[in-house]
Amino acid sequence: MSDRVAIVGVAQTRFSPKRPEVNYAEMAYEAIEEVLKNTRLSIERDIDNAISCSHDIWDGQTISNIGITDVIGGHLRNEEKMAMDGSTAVYYATIGILSGEFDCTLILAHTKMSQTNRNIVNNTAFDPIYTRLLGLDFTSAAALQAKRYMSCRNITEKLTAGVVVKNLSNAAHNPVAHNKGFYTIEDVLNSPLVAHPIRRMDIAPDSDGAVAMIVASERRAKIITDRPAWILGIGTCYDSYYLGDRDLSDCWALKKAAAQAYKMAGINDPSQDIDLIELGEEFSYQELLWLEGLGICGPGEAGELTASGLTAVDGALPVNPSGGLLSGVPTNVAGLNRVAEAALQIRGEATGHQIKDVKVAVAQGHSGFCGQHHCVIVLGRE
C-alpha cells in the first residue's frame, strides 16, 4: 500500500450472557464513549464517517442502524451499516480511507444475543426452498463440518477439546470475557452432546456486548497516537452457499482471503512471519480448521500443533490469547473483537493477557454457516 491505514483506538464493553439493563444503543454507546475518550477525539470535529455492524434480524428492528444513529454520530452525517461479521467492517473502513474519501472512521459492532434464540435466527440463513425446512441451524451445520473435517484429517475429540481448555484458561486473564476457567479435556468431553461431535463446551456461548474502533489515514494516525496498529493487509472471499457444493474439510475461501491479505502485507511464510493470531472459533474445531486455512500448517496438522502447546500463550505462535469466541463474544461483534484484540496486542494494551513483543498479528472473521465468507486482516507495529 502506498498510503497506510492504522487502528488508532479500541474499546470494548464487558461481554456478558445478558445485559437487561441497557438497550443495544446504550450498550453501543459504552464502547463509543470510551474509544473517543481514549483517543481524545470528538465525533463532530474528528470523525469523517461511521460504519456499524449488526443484523436487523438479531436486533429485532428493521433498518436497525436507526437505533444507533445518535450514539454513533450519524445525525446529518455519514453512517453505513455492514450486515456481516465485524472483521469485514474493518476491511471496508480501510478501503474507504484508501479511497481518499475519508481520513478517520469510527467502527461499531453490537449484538445482544440474549434478545432472541440463535437457532431460530440462524435457521433463516438457510434458503427458504431447499434447506430451511430441514431445520438446519449454525450448530447442526457446524456438526456436519466438524464430522467431515475430523474424519478426513484424523482429528480426535480430545484435540478439539484441547482448544476449549486453552481458550477458556486464556480468557481467565481477559477482563472483558465472561466464559472462562481452568478445565480439563475430560471436563469438555463430559459436557452434554449438542450435535455430534459438538458438545456444549465446544460452542461459543450467547453473549451481549459491543466493540468500537477508530481507524485513520497515516497522516491522522500519527497525530492521534504514538502506537498505531498498522493495517498491513486485508482480504475477503466468498465460498459456495450450499454445504454440498463445498468440501467442508477444507476452507478454500479462507485460503483465498488470506492470500490477498498476505500478499498485501508481504507475508511469505505465515508460520514464521506472524507473531499472534486472533481467529473466529465459533466452535472449537474451527480454530484448527482456520489455522490450516491461514497457512500456519498443512491439512490435519493443526490438532497436533495445538496439543504441542505451540498456540498457547507461552508458545511460539499464540492463538486467541484473549480466549477467542469461546470466551463469550456475540455473533457479528465476533470479528471486530478479533481485530480489536490483535490491535491491543500490537499496541501493548492487552491488559492481563498481553503477549511480549508482538510485531505482526493476524485477525480472522467469518460470516455464514461453516464459514462461507472469510475476512483476514494483518496488523503490524511498523
Partner 1 sequence: MKRNVAIIGGGQTHHAARRHDVNQVEMVNEAVRAALSDARTTIDEIDAVLVGNMEFFEGCHMTDCWLVDGTGAYGKPGLKITTGGTVGATIVCAGVHHVASGLFDRVLCVGFEKQEEGDTGAILSGVAHPLFGRSMAGAAVGYFAMMATSYMAAWGAKEEHSAMVAVKARQNARKNEYAHLKLDINIQDVLNSRMLAYPIRMLDMCPASNGACAIILADETTAKDRCEKPVWIRAMDTAHNEQFELDWRDVTTQKSIFSRVSAARIYKRLGVNKPTDYFDVFEIYEPATWAEMVWYEDLGLCGPGEGFKLIENNKTGIDGPIPVNPSGGILSTNCIGASAMLRVWEAALQIRGDAGGHQVPKEVRRALATAYGGTNWTVLTALSRNIDD
Compute the Cα dihedral for 296, 323, 340, 81 and give only its sign: positive
Distance separating alpha carbons of residues 105 and 216, to the nearest angstrom: 6
Shortest CB 365 distance to partner 1, Å: 12
Please identify which residue in 66, 194, 307, 355 interacts with partner 1, judged by CB under 8 A.
66
Least Å distance, CB 93 to partner 1, is: 10
Rounded distance between C-alpha atoms, residue 83 and residue 81, angstroms: 6
Closest contact distance (angstroms) between CB of 26 and partner 1 is 12
Cβ at position 57, least distance to partner 1 in Å: 5
For residue 358, state whether it binds partner 1 (rule: CB under 8 A). Answer: no
Exactly one of 92, 149, 230, 283 binds partner 1 (CB under 8 A); that residue is: 92
Round to whole Å and give the CA distance between 235 and 255.
10
Tell me if 304 contacts partner 1 by CB under 8 A: no
Pick from 42, 117, 127, 266 the residue near partner 1 by CB under 8 A.
127
Quote the least distance from Cβ 58 to partner 1, whole Å: 9
Task: Tell me how far apart the alpha carbons of residues 274 and 293 are, in angstroms, rounded to a whole number.
Answer: 14
Task: Give the residue with the Cβ less far from partner 1, 225 or 372.
Answer: 372
Stretch that binds partner 1, among 50-58, 223-231, 265-273, 281-289 (CB under 8 A): 50-58
Name the segment binding partner 1 (CB under 8 A); options: 256-264, 280-288, 313-321, 339-347: 256-264
* Residue given cell 477458556 in the structure block: 168
For position 57 contacting partner 1 by CB under 8 A, the verdict is yes
- Least distance (Å) between residue 70 CB and partner 1: 5
Give the torsion through C-alpha atoms of 354, 356, 360, 362, to 10 deg.
-40
Query: Per CB under 8 A, does 82 bind partner 1?
Result: yes
Return the number of the residue (95 or 223) whose C-beta is nearest partner 1: 95
300 part of the interface to partner 1, by CB under 8 A? no
Cβ proximity to partner 1: between 82 and 362 the closer is 82
CB of 114 to partner 1, least distance (A): 15
Nearest CB to partner 1, comparing residues 100 and 192: 100
CB of 367 to partner 1, least distance (A): 6
**Contact between 360 and partner 1 (CB under 8 A)?**
no
Distance CA 348, CA 342 (A): 10
User: How far is Cα 194 from Cα 347, in angstroms, rounded to an integer?
Assistant: 39
42 binds partner 1 (CB under 8 A): no
For residues 3 and 213, the answer to whether their CB atoms sit within 8 Å is no
Q: How far is CA 78 from CA 43, 48, 75, 106, 215, in A?
A: 11, 8, 8, 11, 15
Site for partner 1 in 211-240 (CB under 8 A): 235-240
Pairing mode of beta strands 229-238, 373-380: antiparallel
Q: Would you count residue 256 as binding partner 1 (CB under 8 A)? A: yes
Using CB under 8 A, pick the residue from 4, 19, 55, 347 that binds partner 1: 55
- The SS3 of residue 311 is coil
Spatial separation of the C-alpha atoms in residues 103 and 124, rounded to whole Å: 37
Which residue, 128 or 192, is less far from partner 1 as judged by CB?
128
Helix (H) or strand (E) holding 346, with range, is helix 333-347
| Residue 90 near residue 112, CB atoms below 8 Å | no
Burial code (b: 16+ CB inside 10 Å, e: under 16) for 333-372 equals bbbbbbbbbbbbbbbeebeebbbeebebbbbbbbbbbbbb
CA distance 51 to 212: 10
Residue type, 151: S
**Is residue 372 at the binding interface for partner 1, with CB under 8 A as the rule?**
yes
Binding site for partner 1 (CB under 8 A): 2-3, 23, 49, 55-57, 60-63, 65-67, 69-70, 74-84, 88, 91-92, 95-96, 98-101, 121-122, 124-125, 127-129, 235-241, 252-253, 256-257, 260, 367-369, 372-373
